Amino acid sequence: MVKLVDVETDEIVMEIFVGAGRKLETTAPLGRYKLRTASGNDWVSASQSFGPLTRYTEAIVPLEFRQSGNGYVGVTVDLDRRVDGNLKTDYITPSQF
C-alpha cells in the first residue's frame, strides 16, 4: 500500500494498492509529498494492512511533482528493497501511516 501525504497539511492525497511484482503508472497532483508505504506478505484489510508483521516506512526526502516550462516533472519510484537503492526510508508506526 502506498500513500502520498501532503508535506504542508499532512492530508492524504493518494492511496494506491500495488501488488507484489506489479508495475503501476499514475499521475499525482502538483505538490510535495511524503511517500509512506505499508508492506507485507498477505493483505488483511484497510484497517489492519498486512497484519501484525506489516512494515511501515516513510521516504526521508519528500517527492515533488511540479510544472516546468510547458511540461511536468515527477518521479519514478521502484519499491523493491535494495541494499544499494537510492530511496532512503525510515520505519514509522502504524498510527503514523
Phi, psi of 94 (to 5 degrees): -55, -40
Q: Which three cell numbers stand for residue 25?
A: 503508472
pLDDT digits (tens, 9 = 90+) for 31-85: 999 999 999 999 898 888 999 999 999 999 999 999 999 989 888 888 887 787 8
pLDDT top residue among 82 and 6 = 6
State the Cα–Cα distance between residues 45 and 23, nearest whole angstrom: 21
- Partnered with residue 72 across adjacent β-strands are 67
Rg (CA), the chain: 14
Q: Structure pTM?
A: 0.87
58: left (phi over 0), alpha (psi -120 to 50) or beta: beta
